[in-house]
Structure 1
């Protein structure tokens, strides 16, 4: 069977070598001169410049000098046109990703270099050995990396308890488990093959993913041969060694670059093996979702869930605690090398406990038993092979799902032990919900809002420091039995405090120290969780400042190639601003509860970004302020406030369409048990009050009557029911129409305010200053008026 696989690989590689040109085997990162048209245009322009230069050298006079000067300008213009065409395609692809709401594709797209400056990976990074001595020799560095990964991927935890899996519930076999045991059919293999990404690094067999997709629609020759090999492996045949082997690419995370522990190893695997792994993943994922194998708290690598869901849970939980004046004690847990610490023998037992049939477990084991790896450094050097007996293969599509199933086992034991501790049960966070008949203590603990998980990023919460310490003690002890280690240095606690009523406020409380199972965790006042900044007071100021810096970093990235070029296409600048900078500015904005000053901060940043696109810059000496309303009309986009409100309404509709048991939906409409009431006076602004304000601003009841009530044009009385109609499509369209009404009213108000200020000054200029004010730094009688108008808007925002 190994010879059959080798024959297919050799045939595909041979055909590619014969039929494909070297041009198609470029590196993944695209360049502005990759297209044939761009290269031909550049070659023509260079030939003209070369001929003009020879002509000037032969006859140096004014006429030949003008010809040479025009030829040089032609080369610059050709390069600029090619760069703009390249960015046009980049922005078009980015806009399509946003249209399809493909967040995975979005982040892959943003991480890809645009290829404008041709930056490559750096040279060999110096690292320290086990004794802290800095290594500079290439051979010594390569051997050091081999020793590091050999130790990491072959070391069992001394606290591992192989019998701990007996405490995990055994799920019975069902009809769905029998489907898992069946051999893969051709449709599954085809779907898995199409799911492979293009321009991916090849594995040990050097076979690119694109070569597996050469079949026509009528004759799937390659897919049928692959399926035949998969069936043989599934029925007990030997798996080819190339499918098991991995080339480890070292990726820097953060911290000291000379410390090997600050790097992550990504496995470059065979694409043929990836097809079989993807087939298994698709089946197993559907099985886990249908049979509730994974806990509700787990949102990592699951369909229909994202980082925004967990970020919303944290922010909303903090709001509910402040509303009931309940301080919440949170701990953000960091696991040391979580994927690399999974014990494989224990994993097979956990999979069996989850009800996964032995036939599928046997195929999964074949990917891991007898696995080898070698390290590849930045300069392409490869180390010697070494065996791998521990952990999951980072880079394999099965690994995230296998880790989720494995991680669910200790969580099941942890919840059981929580229910046996009176202090933990008393101080868990519960929601006011309908009582369920016959519900026991364990079921009540499971329904409590005690944890938030995104793969190995975990967090727990309690209403007391003692309760949190007891929870962490159980968590650390159970994780140790499963071979997982909680990092004491990176695990931090955060107290979500309540709003103080007395004036002046009391002095800050002493620093909280949580001790659990011999570990002591530091307290922090803010924590970066899944890309969002969570702080103890729930304030958004520092988060918005961070997002503003991220937006300006996007502008800086394209400054030389686009934004600093006077002749660059204006619409391309505006589209790139919206596709990257504004998205970076507003990441996670649907989970925010901003006050008026926060909208002002966002508007200031957005205003400056718009002015940069229009062409105003202070350092050029031509800077002249346009009002925010004028800048919006010039670029043709909506205000940042309208965008935030629109995304919050769309997110609310998506949460309303979730099943009733989903954690974001329970918290969106929920209330915490215990604590105090909101009290007298104006209540603190929260997410629901912002949502109600959004509906008012967007005229959600536009066209609604007493006889025929509607919300955003959907014939329903309650907005949460309107969001579910026809999969939420009418809700989505209604929100977009509401945003248009909001912007029309907003511009009308700004025009009226500008007209009233002009009347007070006795100005007899044009009534509509938004349409007639000069742009691009042009002078004129309205320049001072526009500057004063912008200052007046800033004053209005502050007051």
Structure 2
């Protein structure tokens, strides 16, 4: 590692490891496959060293819209912003047009020379820039520099409360209109709220749990290990983006029933064994999943309140469009939660 750092030359073996992954669509077409590189352990360590050395200096100069790979700016923040905008647009009967644009091979299409110049302007040491250049040299040689190109097959549009029904086009080609879209792994629909996303999460979590059935039925794996696997592999699938869900009592029951069924399977408790839910949770040393959803929601509110007032998440939480509010009982959206309990979130979450 010291030799590599000193001479700025990375061994070829650290760069190899191309694996082809199938995407959606006809797998006979190359465009529906995606290549990833599973680097060697030493290559990953070097990459981590480089990232740690440039992160602090670069993060403050990145646009606030860039998220998902930055501290305190995860994908959940972006989902929250979009879902809250949709909820408020529906509440105030305003109009909203959404375009979900997909770029063809966006990562491979980056103009490398421009990237190096930007890195230098950001103040990244030239030594680091040269090492990143060497680390990506093989990909740069093999990738065709075509620039960013919109993939119309995967680009979709959504209109909410819109009177104008003219077709949306890009470059003369019509954009497919949808009622729901998978945005950063979360299902976003015209109603906002997140109920379709919750149902989708339940389905995905069930699938994950079923695929691990050999583990749950194994007598050679301890209960403790099974519970750790459940918390690590199943619960995250179920609760991804739950901070942005607008839930009622029925939804709380749905996620709790899902977990109870999983715990019965893991603990080998038959249905004819009549035990209470409290006893089941006590044996598993778990809390109701609905309580975890509430905890994460309050944590999300605290996370937003700690941010700068000009942050997009903070603006979205209190934003209201121009329009006439619907005359009906207020829904339990994120604004309602934050308005009723900002003081509570400051005391219990901000810690």
Q: Could you say which residue in structure 2 is the equivalent of 1:388?
A: 142
Q: Is the 8 A contact 2:15 2:43 kept in 1?
A: no
Please give the alpha-carbon distance, in whole angstroms, between the structure 2 residues aligned to 1:536 and 1:643.
26
Q: Is the 8 A contact 2:90 2:191 kept in 1?
A: no
Q: Could you say which residue in structure 2 is the equivalent of 1:283?
A: 53
Q: Is the 8 A contact 1:511 1:523 kept in 2?
A: no
Please give the alpha-carbon distance, in whole angstroms, between the structure 1 residues aligned to 2:113 and 2:265.
58
Q: Is the 8 A contact 2:195 2:247 kept in 1?
A: no
Q: Could you say which residue in structure 2 is the equivalent of 1:651?
A: 300
Q: Could you say which residue in structure 1 is the equivalent of 2:6?
A: 228
Q: How does 1:139-154 map to 2 (within 5 A)?
A: none
Q: Could you say which residue in structure 2 is the equivalent of 1:641?
A: 290
Q: Is the 8 A contact 2:100 2:157 kept in 1?
A: yes
Q: Which runs of 5+ in 1 are unaligned?
A: 1-211, 213-222, 231-238, 374-385, 392-481, 499-508, 696-710, 712-717, 732-799
Please give the alpha-carbon distance, in whole angstroms, between the structure 2 residues aligned to 1:683 and 1:675.
16
Please give the alpha-carbon distance, in whole angstroms, between the structure 2 residues aligned to 1:274 and 1:245.
10
Please give the alpha-carbon distance, in whole angstroms, between the structure 1 residues aligned to 2:272 and 2:221.
18
Shift of 1:723: 6.1
Q: How does 1:357-368 map to 2 (within 5 A)?
A: 361=129, 364-367=132-135
Of 656, 665, 672, the residue aligned with 2:320 is 672
Q: Is the 8 A contact 1:551 1:581 kept in 2?
A: yes
TM-score scaled by length of structure 2? 0.83
Shift of 1:298: 0.9
Shift of 1:524: 0.6
Q: Is the 8 A contact 2:14 2:42 kept in 1?
A: no
Of 73, 85, 89, the residue aligned with 1:305 is 73
Q: Could you say which residue in structure 1 is the equivalent of 2:239?
A: 586
Q: How does 1:230-249 map to 2 (within 5 A)?
A: 230=8, 239=9, 242=12, 246-249=16-19
Of 233, 246, 251, the residue aligned with 1:598 is 251
Of 114, 117, 124, the residue aligned with 1:346 is 114
**CA 1:280/1:590 → structure 2, altered by over 3 Å: closer, same or farther?**
same
Q: How does 1:282-681 map to 2 (within 5 A)?
A: 282-290=52-60, 292=61, 294-351=62-119, 354=122, 361=129, 364-367=132-135, 371-372=137-138, 387-388=141-142, 390=144, 483-497=147-161, 513-561=167-215, 563-565=216-218, 569-616=222-269, 623=272, 626-668=275-317, 670-676=318-324, 678-681=325-328
Shift of 1:332: 0.9
Of 305, 309, 333, the residue aligned with 1:686 is 333
Q: Could you say which residue in structure 2 is the equivalent of 1:261?
A: 31
Shift of 1:304: 2.3
Please give the alpha-carbon distance, in whole angstroms, between the structure 2 residues aligned to 1:265 and 1:296.
29
How many residues are aligned here?
351
Please give the alpha-carbon distance, in whole angstroms, between the structure 1 residues aligned to 2:39 and 2:209.
36
* Deviation readout 1:104-163 (Å, 9 max, x if unpaired): xxxxxxxxxxxxxxxxxxxxxxxxxxxxxxxxxxxxxxxxxxxxxxxxxxxxxxxxxxxx
Please give the alpha-carbon distance, in whole angstroms, between the structure 1 residues aligned to 2:280 and 2:135.
57
Q: Could you say which residue in structure 2 is the equivalent of 1:743?
A: none
Q: How does 1:127-276 map to 2 (within 5 A)?
A: 223=2, 225-230=3-8, 239=9, 242=12, 246-267=16-37
SS of corresponding position for 2:176:
strand
Please give the alpha-carbon distance, in whole angstroms, between the structure 1 residues aligned to 2:25 and 2:43.
34
Shift of 1:333: 1.0
TM-score scaled by length of structure 1? 0.39
Shift of 1:367: 4.6
Shift of 1:565: 4.5
Q: Is the 8 A contact 1:593 1:686 kept in 2?
A: yes
Q: Is the 8 A contact 1:312 1:591 kept in 2?
A: yes
Q: Is the 8 A contact 1:243 1:367 kept in 2?
A: no
Please give the alpha-carbon distance, in whole angstroms, between the structure 1 residues aligned to 2:191 and 2:314.
23
Please give the alpha-carbon distance, in whole angstroms, between the structure 1 residues aligned to 2:129 and 2:282.
60
Q: Which runs of 5+ in 2 are unaligned?
A: none
